[in-house]
């Protein structure tokens, strides 16, 4: 995401602030049992505006799916309030759900229907006008790149095309204002993932608010106007990608690969660098050192010294992944969601 320009979805001199579609205030969810209470969400506040995409990042068990299920009206909160288009989904679930669509992580379209049958069935179920259903479905299939697949059985489709069918169904709601996506590209190949990204990105022009969870840092960087990081049931950071990166106390990283192939001279050099640059991350044969200024002559000289010894290394600014790892550390919850 480019820095320096106005954040997508925010007010500028020639564009008023977008209307808030989703608002979550003080949301908490606690599961009670004889073995003790477990808090899945604690005091969560967030909002998503019309035409904005908010990505929710967090480790397994952080509370992402639990949060989405409450917003979707599938779980009752223990405390707090959720409004969609100004409608409280707990007090008035039916009108709230008329402007909401959800694509869960583990969801498959009906295998024995054709693509057209599947989209038509759910469009009617979501309130589309029966008198105009043919052109309505035609438009949905064209919009999602499924027109050429309309007569194929869903079971014959690739994983990526099945994801598109689910998106077409979600977009079939005539009054859609909020789309919830739980890990929308899990299990699909890179080409299909990009196709899904393009479909989601295009929803901005229709002023549909999108809240998605993802484990793919690249997905959040590509799609999101704002990112919220959740860990142990709490939002620990929220803002633009640039704002999240700027929370770090260093601006760059020196990444070194092939740690198990270092010569004695290479190991000695890396030991020296580790004394000057704190180790930010180490996994397998790779480690990242925290560099205050990746564009400084000293950092460039250290990169050249590594290269002279045949060590594979790179130097550059910090990424969203660096900031994410610094925020969540190695903490993981045991429960799902």
pLDDT digits (tens, 9 = 90+) for 278-335: 998 888 899 999 999 999 999 999 999 999 999 999 999 998 999 998 898 754 443 4
Q: Domain for residue 335, yes or no?
A: no
Same domain for 90 and 150, yes or no, is no
CATH number at residue 60: 3.40.50.300
Strand partners, 55: 212, 227
Same domain for 149 and 265, yes or no, is no
pLDDT digits (tens, 9 = 90+) for 53-89: 999 999 988 999 999 999 999 999 999 999 999 999 9
- The radius of gyration of the chain's CA atoms, rounded to the nearest angstrom, is 23
Report the pLDDT value the prediction gives residue 82, as an integer from 0 to 100. Answer: 97
Q: What is the pTM of this model?
A: 0.83
Contact indicator for 270, 315 with CB cutoff of 8 Å: no
Report the pLDDT value the prediction gives residue 337, as an integer from 0 to 100. Answer: 54
Q: Domain for residue 242, yes or no?
A: yes
Report the pLDDT value the prediction gives residue 335, as an integer from 0 to 100. Answer: 41
Nearest to 48 by CA among 204, 231, 276: 204
Structural domain total, the chain:
3
Q: Domain for residue 59, yes or no?
A: yes
Same domain for 164 and 294, yes or no, is no
Domain boundary among 220, 248, 276: 248
Domain limits for position 185: 1-7+17-99+177-248
Q: Please compute, for residue 31, the number of CA atoms within 13 A of its CA located in the half-sphere on the CB side.
A: 12
Same domain for 269 and 302, yes or no, is yes
- % of the chain exceeding 70 in pLDDT: 92
Report the pLDDT value the prediction gives residue 222, as an integer from 0 to 100. Answer: 92
Contact indicator for 292, 250 with CB cutoff of 8 Å: yes
Q: Domain for residue 331, yes or no?
A: no
Domain boundary among 200, 232, 248: 248
Domain boundary among 187, 218, 248: 248
Same domain for 243 and 183, yes or no, is yes
Q: What are phi and psi for residue 335, nearest 5 degrees? A: -85, 155
Same domain for 161 and 276, yes or no, is no
Contact indicator for 151, 115 with CB cutoff of 8 Å: yes
């Amino acid at each position: 995401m480019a820095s320096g320009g106005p954040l997508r979805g925010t007010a500028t001199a020639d564009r008023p602030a977008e209307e808030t579609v989703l608002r979550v205030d003080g949301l908490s969810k606690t599961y009670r049992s004889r073995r003790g209470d477990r808090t899945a969400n604690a005091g969560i506040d967030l909002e998503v505006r019309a035409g904005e995409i908010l990505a929710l990042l967090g480790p397994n068990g952080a509370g992402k799916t639990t949060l989405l299920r409450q917003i979707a009206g599938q779980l009752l909160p223990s405390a707090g309030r959720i409004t969609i288009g100004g409608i409280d989904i707990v007090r008035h679930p039916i009108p709230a759900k008329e402007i909401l669509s959800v694509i869960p992580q583990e969801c498959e379209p009906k295998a024995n229907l054709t693509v057209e049958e599947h989209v038509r069935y759910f469009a009617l179920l979501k309130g589309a006008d029966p008198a105009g259903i043919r052109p309505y479905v035609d438009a949905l299939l064209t919009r999602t790149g499924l027109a050429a697949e309309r007569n194929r059985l869903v079971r014959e489709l690739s994983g990526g095309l099945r994801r598109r069918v689910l998106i077409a169904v979600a977009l079939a709601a005539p009054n859609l204002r909020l789309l919830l996506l739980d890990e929308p590209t899990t299990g699909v190949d890179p080409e299909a993932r990009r196709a899904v990204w393009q479909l989601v990105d295009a929803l901005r022009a229709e002023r549909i608010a999108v809240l998605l969870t993802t484990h793919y840092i690249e997905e959040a960087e590509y799609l999101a106007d704002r990112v919220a990081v959740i860990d142990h049931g709490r939002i620990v950071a929220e803002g633009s990608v640039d704002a999240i990166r700027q929370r770090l106390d260093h601006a760059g990283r020196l990444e070194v690969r092939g740690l198990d192939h270092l010569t004695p001279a290479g190991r000695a050099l890396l030991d020296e660098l580790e004394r000057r640059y704190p180790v930010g991350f180490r996994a397998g044969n790779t480690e990242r050192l925290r560099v205050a200024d990746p564009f400084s002559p000293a950092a460039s000289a250290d990169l050249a010294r590594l290269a002279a010894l045949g060590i594979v290394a790179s130097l550059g600014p910090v990424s969203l992944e660096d900031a994410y790892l610094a925020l969540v550390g190695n903490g993981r919850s045991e429960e799902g969601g």
